[in-house]
Amino acid sequence: MTNEASGITLSVVVNVHSEGRLLRPTLRSLMAAIEEVTATARDCELVIVLDRATPDTLAEATLWLDPDRAVVPVRLIEVSHGDAGASRNAGATNARGRFVAFCDGDDLVSHNYLVEGVRTLEASEAPIIVHPATVVSFGDRSAIWTVPATEDVDHLLLIRNNLWPSSSISLRSTYLDNPYRAIRPGDGFGPEDWLWNIETSIAGISHRPAPGTMFFYRVRAFGGVNNGHLRSILPPFDLDGLISAMPVKVGAPAPKEPSARDRNKRVIRGVYRVARPVARLLLGSLRQSTKERLYGWAMGVYRGRPADVSPAVVKHLRRAAEIEPAVSWTANGYGMVPEWHPYVDGYAQILVDLVAQLRPFPRAIVAVPWVGIGGADLVSLNYARALAASPRFKGDVTMLATYTPSNTLQHLVPEGVRFVQVSQEIRSLTPNQQRRIIAQALLMVAPELVVSVNCFDVTNSLHLYGHQLADTMRIHLTLFAFDRIGAGYPVNPITDDGQREYLDEIEGIITDNTVTAGIVSEMLALGPAKVRVHHQPALETLPPLNTTTRAHDDRVFTQQDPFRLLWPHRLDKEKRPDSLIRIAELLRKQDLPVSISVHGQQVLSSDGATLMKSLAAAGVIYRGPYSGGLEALPTHDYHALLLTSESEGLPLVLVQSMLLGLPVIATAVGGVTDIVRDNVTGLLVSSPDDAEGFVRAITQLMGSVEERQKIIRTAYDFAAAQHGWEHFTALVDALA
């Protein structure tokens, strides 16, 4: 029953840092519980581990060295870890008892917790870990948590929930053989007790509640361990080992779902938070007595009928409140306090499935929303091909698509590149849980390199877990252009986060043109080394210049055989398909033999139907969506390509057009001017609203086949030199 060398049965270890006066009720509570153990002829000691303790905390701990205050020997151990797990390891190492009980420095225990814990341990033939049976949160938030036994849960519940509190009692040898994993301060990993719960479960050690015991967990409005873990995430652990140790148990009790009352309370709380400012305004003119009656009625509706509270629980509550009156309000309403239940929301299964799909662990990941729609898809395929061809990553490249599977055309995924689609069940989770799954999966598979091509899920994960991810892998984001909302306000997942702390952690941002690079560098206050320009290959193989096209040869145009214009873009606001109406009307007014054909997916807003009718009325022909790049269209039958966008990065459709021998007429926006040099490699128009400028450019190309031929040749040579595969793969190789 005792440690033969010391004669001590139980060492109670309290880990403290900055608790100050809050340490007093904790130690009073523990001393009362220790007396219950010593009354059974078992010797105990109290070990206070001071980890970078503040002066007031050290002063409070020192008071307990007085024999008149403490009923058992007290020792102070000073360490400088800044980490709760390392402090617990120090406590176990310095403990002299056969058993060790841990408690944080601002919590309280029921008077029977320690003695029942020791009895439970002594009754077990195998090593186990004992926790309190019920955890009562008090302070800034009230809640009740019924602690389960290992046999009543499985790996999915433990992946999603920290099922056992940090306070535990076990053999000292259990803590020495299974130390808390070292987590450096500021790494953002944890909580350390959750990780320890997982790793001890993998080791086959059962967790059990001590019958009839309670633990009082102080919830602070600010400061404290709980608030410190709001943005922490679990480091990689042996997922296969956990699944093997804790399989889904057939016939085991199903996880207890929240009661209807608890679910209703959650809804009411949400409504209350939204309605509170309005209610205050509306009730502000009422007399105080009237407001008090209304408040009493509202609370009665909210609370409903209180649950019965047993005399044993009342006894624990009263004794705790006599030591720490902050417990009183929670204790008084105990029958109406909501009970916390483990989340059963699909999170764990989605994570497990995603990690399984990503195995064998890829060395490089190209993350995308989808593959197949839009210019960014071609960019993502470029990186996948280049990485797959790299000696460093060949055979170890995965494309990870996180959104809308129906938008993906899997046949486009390059040979030798694995494709993984995130289950869209992820969208049933909260935004923060979605971010956590993506981050946790990346941490579990730990690739060397991540190139995120407009993948908002990865960027959003970086908002919360940028330090943890960037400390494990090299991450590059792309920013080619801003989307526009409302009256034209620029938005992008990278800039949506107002803090952008992760920008100091990642390798950098990739764009495809110098104009956007300058904007990004200035807007985000990033040095030149953090913003890279990668001129993208536009075609998988460089074709020879086609000189047999209409654009190269046709000289005469009639209404029956017109000058043919191609507009191959998504029909959304930023591409400005509406400008085609004015252009077409001016062409008709001047009686010019010109036809305009539109190829592209319709992603228009609510006025899209009206716009499509107006385009048709102006003589613009809509020929439907297409995929596979400009090569999928009969470019040889056209004389020029139009781009009427109001904002762009560097549209690869322009590069493709030049390589396919189709001259370009484009608005001078974004990175367009990086490749379209006016009257040299194409023709530029000041804005999408300059319909007259577009008509002048069209007329210029119609009027001289020699000028078209000169532009076609110059544009081809320029695009081939600046957007070739050899140059691009050298840039990609440099990322690693």
Each as own residue / partner, the long-range contacts of residues 173-181 (CB below 8 Å, 24 or more positions apart, any chain) are: 173/127, 174/127, 174/129, 174/200, 174/205, 175/88, 175/89, 175/92, 175/100, 176/92, 176/93, 178/203, 178/205, 179/85, 179/89, 179/92, 180/84, 180/85, 180/86, 180/88, 180/89, 181/85, 181/235
pLDDT digits (tens, 9 = 90+) for 520-578: 999 999 998 999 999 988 888 889 999 999 999 999 999 999 999 999 998 988 899 99
**Residue 551 near residue 712 (C-beta atoms within 8 A):** yes
Q: 37 or 300: whose pLDDT is higher?
A: 37
What pLDDT, on the 0 to 100 scale, is given for residue 263? 54
Judge whether residue 284 has pLDDT over 70: no
Which domains are delineated in the chain?
A: 10-245 (3.90.550.10), 256-305 (no CATH), 347-533 (3.40.50.2000), 550-723 (3.40.50.2000)
- Residue 288's pLDDT band (boundaries 50, 70, 90)? low
Q: 727 or 404: whose pLDDT is higher?
A: 404
* Burial letters 61-90, b for 16+ CB under 10 A, else e: beebeeeeebebebbbbebebebbbbbbbb
Span 142-165, average pLDDT: 96
**Angstrom distances, CA of residue 429 to CA of 257, 269, 422, 434:** 17, 19, 13, 6
- Residue 282's pLDDT band (boundaries 50, 70, 90)? low
**Angstrom distances, CA of residue 270 to CA of 226, 427, 453, 525:** 22, 20, 36, 38
What is the CB-side half-sphere exposure of residue 606 using CA atoms within 13 A?
Answer: 0
pLDDT digits (tens, 9 = 90+) for 501-525: 899 999 999 998 888 999 999 999 9
What is the overall mean pLDDT for the chain?
Answer: 90
Judge whether residue 236 has pLDDT over 90: yes
Which tokens sit at 76?
């102070």
Looking at 67-71, 262-266, 409-413, which range is the least confident one?
262-266
What pLDDT, on the 0 to 100 scale, is given for residue 605? 64
Return phi, psi of residue 611, to 5°.
-65, -45
Looking at 150-159, 170-179, 626-635, which range is the least confident one?
626-635
Whose tokens are 């319909």? That residue is 691
- Residue 267's pLDDT band (boundaries 50, 70, 90)? low
Q: Give the residue among 365, 341, 344, 343 at the shortest CA–CA distance from 354.
A: 365
Q: Give the residue among 166, 220, 216 at the shortest CA–CA distance from 322.
A: 216
pLDDT digits (tens, 9 = 90+) for 454-473: 999 999 999 999 999 999 99
Strands 99-104 and 169-171: antiparallel
pLDDT digits (tens, 9 = 90+) for 625-656: 998 889 999 999 999 999 999 988 888 899 99
- Residue 299's pLDDT band (boundaries 50, 70, 90)? very low
**Angstrom distances, CA of residue 710 to CA of 135, 653, 682, 690, 704:** 80, 20, 10, 25, 10
What pLDDT, on the 0 to 100 scale, is given for residue 297? 46
What pLDDT, on the 0 to 100 scale, is given for residue 187? 87
Whose tokens are 């814990």? That residue is 117
Looking at 42-56, 64-78, 465-479, 531-545, which range is the least confident one?
531-545
- Residue 251's pLDDT band (boundaries 50, 70, 90)? low
CA 104-110-116 angle, to 5 degrees, is 100
Reading phi first (left if > 0) and then psi (alpha if -120 to 50, else beta), residue 190 is in left
Looking at 192-201, 275-284, 364-373, 596-605, which range is the least confident one?
275-284
Distance from C-alpha of 263 to C-alpha of 550, rounded to nearest angstrom: 68
Q: Give the residue among 165, 141, 109, 107 at the shortest CA–CA distance from 330.
A: 141
Residue 298: strand, helix, or coil: helix
- Residue 4's pLDDT band (boundaries 50, 70, 90)? low
What pLDDT, on the 0 to 100 scale, is given for residue 224? 53
Judge whether residue 278 has pLDDT over 80: no
What pLDDT, on the 0 to 100 scale, is given for residue 361? 84
pLDDT digits (tens, 9 = 90+) for 677-730: 999 999 999 999 999 999 999 999 999 999 999 999 999 999 998 888 888 998
Residue 643: strand, helix, or coil: strand
What pLDDT, on the 0 to 100 scale, is given for residue 253? 47
Residue 423: strand, helix, or coil: coil
Span 328-337, average pLDDT: 93
Which tokens sit at 497?
């986060």
What is the residue-wise DSSP string for 539-582? SSS-PPP---SHHHH-----SSSPEEEEE-S-BSGGG-TTHHHH
Structure letter (DSSP) for residue 74: E
- Residue 286's pLDDT band (boundaries 50, 70, 90)? low
Judge whether residue 202 has pLDDT over 80: yes
Looking at 219-228, 317-326, 598-607, 640-649, which range is the least confident one?
219-228
The shares of helix, strand and coil residues in the chain, as percent rounded to the nearest 5, are: 45, 20, 40
Structure letter (DSSP) for residue 646: S
Looking at 325-334, 348-357, 721-730, which range is the least confident one?
721-730
Span 117-122, average pLDDT: 98
Interacting residues of 240 by C-beta distance below 8 A, sequence separation 6+: none
Interacting residues of 36 by C-beta distance below 8 A, sequence separation 6+: 111, 112, 114, 115
pLDDT digits (tens, 9 = 90+) for 529-539: 999 999 988 88
What pLDDT, on the 0 to 100 scale, is given for residue 185? 78
Judge whether residue 670 has pLDDT over 80: yes
pTM above 0.85, yes or no: no
Distance from C-alpha of 531 to C-alpha of 514, rounded to nearest angstrom: 10
Judge whether residue 227 has pLDDT over 50: no
